[in-house]
Chains A and B, each alone.
Chain A
């Protein structure tokens, strides 16, 4: 594992971008849309903050530009695709474990309401 990586503090933005790439490669706008949909619009990335975060994740070695292209009919050759590196995946797994642990604690304290309330 390379050692001289810039230190990266995990923020919700980074986490959601990594999570969007867990299923497969994606380009910037697709990441943006998925993050927005997954968070019900509570985390909206603008173009600048999206690529700012992508740049940081790239520098930290968690994602790289992907040379695999999607099926020809879906492909837009101007777009740059990104994929998770092995390290990125392990960081994502570790971070998810931490979050899951926190959620368990919250559940144990009955802080979570059951979903799907009927009026």
Chain B
């Protein structure tokens, strides 16, 4: 058993101590046995935790409620006047409590709102964690679903070739079901504007494999995947709503995609989300198995594989079986499959693994918020209790048992917590709605406040109410009521003041830790954004265009269209230059290909290295400010002469031609026996980070259009002004030239850069927002305690002034008292931040998790803030009028 499991077992075994004694005595040993069995039998650790935690909370609350009900039933009849009149039951206490809360609305509102912030944040985050981490994927037996990937010569694990897929899928003892997905795009004609929609070609096995039932109509039939000719399409749920108004009558209708007619046979549920971009807005069509280009093809790696493990097969077993199958294929097809291996990866991990670290981090952050909010509530409770000390003393003197008083206080704090929890639930619902509306992540659309989240919220509310409301109350009732009556003075004494001091120290420490986290994320984001990506990113308007097949059937017509467009666009007012290429940097599209060098023999059993691959119009490098480091750039004449020319990047030059001049060398993109003609390398360009600001450069090759061409291209327009302001003019130019060419993904290059850091930015925004909340709550806490302390020392301060103390002396006295608390909090917070820093390390870039500058700056800022929070009470202390104080005595 792993250490984590042993620890889990011990923890939950220890937690059984919190069950009522009778239950524990009767079942304790049996519980321990079953707990051990459960820990040993549950495979996934998060699920085990979820299961045991839920079980513990449910059982403990049930057991205690029952035990408490019995306890209070046995208590002697009340002589307490307030509740005696109404029967002395729970209902009476609740009514009495509500009346009390109404009597001090300021206190009630402050306490409930503070708790609402903490509880709401936790419920919202737990809803995210619950849906995106703890609960299984919305498919049949999701733990057996995997992603099937291939790898050649230790490249990245990625897509596979169709013939390989069919061979792998034939091994049903390993993969009981398998399907492929091919990503494409099409132009959808119909009512409304011409639209570019994503198309997912899939083999029909996909839907039975996932266990997906259509919302309307049917999914795909097996024969639709066996041969070409079926013109049928499924609508994704989002597309059905956005384009067809969610009309069930759409089934049976005909739609036109890229000039061909397809019959809509069904609508998929919103749960079908395989993690490809815009799955929810796509058309899903059958991929026929008999397409001649692909039946025997083992070199076109364009297919994403998905598979269900056969019963009893684990990922490890499947992978060793797949390795064996890979070796068999290698032996059978040495020319293409040398060094190619296959493996499966958990679908769950692939789809949601990236969210986990950030979500756990945020769950920790909101946990801190709840602690800080709870500390404030505890402080408020203490203050209120002190002012009620006489009332409670009178009730005790009149014969109310201590238990009875405690019960009253517990009910009051639970009422406040309950109101806070209810408000928090509203806040959480609002926050989730905002999060969905913000469109940060398509996965967030599935997140709702389901019953399990409500259960968690209720349990958390209960625990918070007991811990921060009832516990202080219980401490207080320990005090001798007679003394309070006799002296007529209230104040809670030294113990309470120490408790309050401790609460403030805790708040400052927690807030400091959150602020340091924010600081570190902020520094990281700045570092990432200032990474030199190798191209000019300011002032570019970008978009994609797609020339329709029927109007642009060949290279000359398509190239002429883009040349005309470039000519028109670059003469628009405000435009400096414009260019066309197959891909924009950081756009998230890349094609890659084998790179064969003429006259260089491969070692036996090896396939050529691979390179990224793009096509550009002349002037593209100049436009983006990418320098030519050797040889020459493409010219318009190269396009007209349809010459086979290539420019490679520095990384490719270093990797493939070490110590040589690549200019003048002949290469081809493909295997050595490919029919593709040889290309001449005419130049080398500097590296551009096309895949991400933090991704190392890889070998890239750029072909000039002419001999190679394509209809779907990216347009970039450079302006000295605001690039997005240029969009209407450029779109109008496209429309003037040909109204049937759709323009989409309109944006700026800056936006593309920002998109690559969007996750970082969002995490930073969330953590920063929570930290500010923490700071605010801690500020309120410091202020409250200091104000209270000043009011308690009113007499003492008055006497000091009467004996010759100046207001400045008093101010210093109060400030130094508050300052000590803040300083201790800061020191503890610094230590805590350093201890916890490893949990944030994975989210950082270019900054140490214990960066001294960040720590120091944040500590100074928080220290200053703490002093400011003390200033108002200190100032008030300095204005105490000794005469008034004396007279009060």
Binding site for B on A (CB under 8 A): 27-29, 32-33, 44-52, 54-55, 78-80, 119
Question: Which of A46, A48, A51, A54 neighbours the largest number of chain B CB atoms within 10 Å of its CB?
Answer: A48
Minimum C-beta distance from B107 to chain A (A): 37
Question: Which of A46, A50, A54 neighbours the largest number of chain B CB atoms within 10 Å of its CB?
Answer: A46
B635 at the interface (CB under 8 A from A): no
Q: Check A51–B55 contact: CB distance below 8 A.
A: no
Q: Check A49–B58 contact: CB distance below 8 A.
A: yes
Q: Check A52–B34 contact: CB distance below 8 A.
A: no
CA–CA, A49 and B31, complex, Å: 10
CA–CA, A80 and B136, complex, Å: 33
Q: Check B59–A49 contact: CB distance below 8 A.
A: yes
Residues on A with C-beta less than 8 A from B60 are 48
Q: 11 other contacts beyond A51-B34, A80-B30, with CB at 8 A cut-off?
A: A33-B41, A45-B55, A47-B12, A47-B55, A48-B16, A48-B56, A48-B59, A51-B23, A54-B27, A55-B23, A78-B29
Residues on A with C-beta less than 8 A from B708 are none
B33 at the interface (CB under 8 A from A): yes
Q: Contact residue range for chain B?
A: 20 to 34
Question: Which of B34, B35, B54, B58 neighbours the largest number of chain A CB atoms within 10 Å of its CB?
Answer: B34
Minimum C-beta distance from A63 to chain B (A): 13
Q: Which of A32, A44, A55, A119 contacts B34 (CB 8 A)?
A: A32
Residues on B with C-beta less than 8 A from A44 are 51
Q: Which of B35, B55, B208 contacts A49 (CB 8 A)?
A: B55
Residues on B with C-beta less than 8 A from A80 are 30
CA–CA, A51 and B29, complex, Å: 11
Given contacts A46-B38, A48-B16, contact A28 B59 (CB under 8 A): no
Q: Check B30–A51 contact: CB distance below 8 A.
A: yes
Residues on A with C-beta less than 8 A from B51 are 44, 46
Q: For B208, give the chain A residue with the smallest CB separation.
A: A119
Q: For A36, give the chain B residue with the smallest CB separation.
A: B41
B26 at the interface (CB under 8 A from A): yes
A sample of 28 inter-chain contacts (CB < 8 A) reads A28-B30, A28-B33, A29-B34, A29-B38, A46-B38, A46-B51, A46-B54, A46-B58, A47-B12, A47-B34, A47-B35, A47-B52, A48-B16, A48-B55, A48-B58, A48-B59, A49-B55, A49-B59, A51-B27, A51-B34, A52-B23, A52-B62, A52-B63, A54-B27, A55-B23, A79-B33, A119-B207, A119-B208
Q: For B58, give the chain A residue with the smallest CB separation.
A: A49
Given contacts A51-B27, A52-B63, contact A28 B34 (CB under 8 A): yes
CA–CA, A65 and B285, complex, Å: 60
B809 at the interface (CB under 8 A from A): no
Q: Which 6 A-B pairs have the closest CB atoms?
A: A46-B55, A48-B59, A119-B208, A51-B27, A47-B34, A29-B37
For window 573-608 of B, CB contacts with A under 8 Å fall at none
B709 at the interface (CB under 8 A from A): no
Minimum C-beta distance from B779 to chain A (A): 41
CA–CA, A6 and B607, complex, Å: 77
CA–CA, A51 and B51, complex, Å: 15
Given contacts A119-B207, A119-B208, contact A48 B30 (CB under 8 A): no
B301 at the interface (CB under 8 A from A): no
Q: Check B23–A47 contact: CB distance below 8 A.
A: no
Q: Check A47–B29 contact: CB distance below 8 A.
A: no
For window 729-784 of B, CB contacts with A under 8 Å fall at none
Residues on A with C-beta less than 8 A from B33 are 28-29, 78-79
Q: For A79, give the chain B residue with the smallest CB separation.
A: B33
CA–CA, A28 and B30, complex, Å: 8
Minimum C-beta distance from A47 to chain B (A): 4
Minimum C-beta distance from A52 to chain B (A): 5
B230 at the interface (CB under 8 A from A): no
Binding site for A on B (CB under 8 A): 12, 16, 19, 23, 26-27, 29-31, 33-35, 37-38, 41, 51-52, 54-56, 58-60, 62-63, 207-208
Minimum C-beta distance from B178 to chain A (A): 14
Q: Check B54–A55 contact: CB distance below 8 A.
A: no
Residues on A with C-beta less than 8 A from B31 are 47-48, 51
Majority secondary structure of chain A interface residues (helix, strand, loop or mixed)? helix
Minimum C-beta distance from B65 to chain A (A): 12
CA–CA, A49 and B35, complex, Å: 11
Q: Check A55–B30 contact: CB distance below 8 A.
A: no
Minimum C-beta distance from A117 to chain B (A): 9
Q: Which of A32, A33, A52 contacts B59 (CB 8 A)?
A: A52
CA–CA, A41 and B574, complex, Å: 65
CA–CA, A110 and B33, complex, Å: 45
CA–CA, A32 and B40, complex, Å: 14
Q: Check A50–B26 contact: CB distance below 8 A.
A: no
CA–CA, A1 and B486, complex, Å: 60
Minimum C-beta distance from B142 to chain A (A): 12
CA–CA, A29 and B38, complex, Å: 8
Residues on A with C-beta less than 8 A from B16 are 48
Q: For B31, give the chain A residue with the smallest CB separation.
A: A47
Residues on B with C-beta less than 8 A from A119 are 207-208
Residues on A with C-beta less than 8 A from B12 are 47
Q: Check A46–B63 contact: CB distance below 8 A.
A: no
Given contacts A32-B34, A119-B208, contact A48 B29 (CB under 8 A): no
Residues on A with C-beta less than 8 A from B59 are 46, 48-49, 52
CA–CA, A53 and B27, complex, Å: 11
Q: For B32, give the chain A residue with the smallest CB separation.
A: A47
Residues on B with C-beta less than 8 A from A32 are 34, 37-38
CA–CA, A46 and B37, complex, Å: 11
Residues on B with C-beta less than 8 A from A79 are 30, 33
Minimum C-beta distance from A119 to chain B (A): 3
Minimum C-beta distance from A22 to chain B (A): 21
Residues on A with C-beta less than 8 A from B55 are 45-49
Q: For B22, give the chain A residue with the smallest CB separation.
A: A55
Minimum C-beta distance from B889 to chain A (A): 58
Question: Which of A27, A54, A119 neighbours the largest number of chain B CB atoms within 10 Å of its CB?
Answer: A119
CA–CA, A44 and B59, complex, Å: 14
CA–CA, A50 and B128, complex, Å: 28
CA–CA, A19 and B29, complex, Å: 24
Minimum C-beta distance from B52 to chain A (A): 6
Given contacts A28-B34, A32-B34, contact A46 B29 (CB under 8 A): no
Minimum C-beta distance from B409 to chain A (A): 28
Residues on A with C-beta less than 8 A from B34 are 28-29, 32, 47, 50-51
Q: Check B56–A46 contact: CB distance below 8 A.
A: yes
Residues on B with C-beta less than 8 A from A29 are 33-34, 37-38
Residues on A with C-beta less than 8 A from B35 are 47
Residues on A with C-beta less than 8 A from B23 are 51-52, 55
CA–CA, A33 and B41, complex, Å: 10
Q: For B19, give the chain A residue with the smallest CB separation.
A: A48
Residues on B with C-beta less than 8 A from A28 are 30, 33-34
Q: Check A55–B19 contact: CB distance below 8 A.
A: no
Q: For B60, give the chain A residue with the smallest CB separation.
A: A48
CA–CA, A45 and B42, complex, Å: 13
Residues on A with C-beta less than 8 A from B58 are 46, 48-49
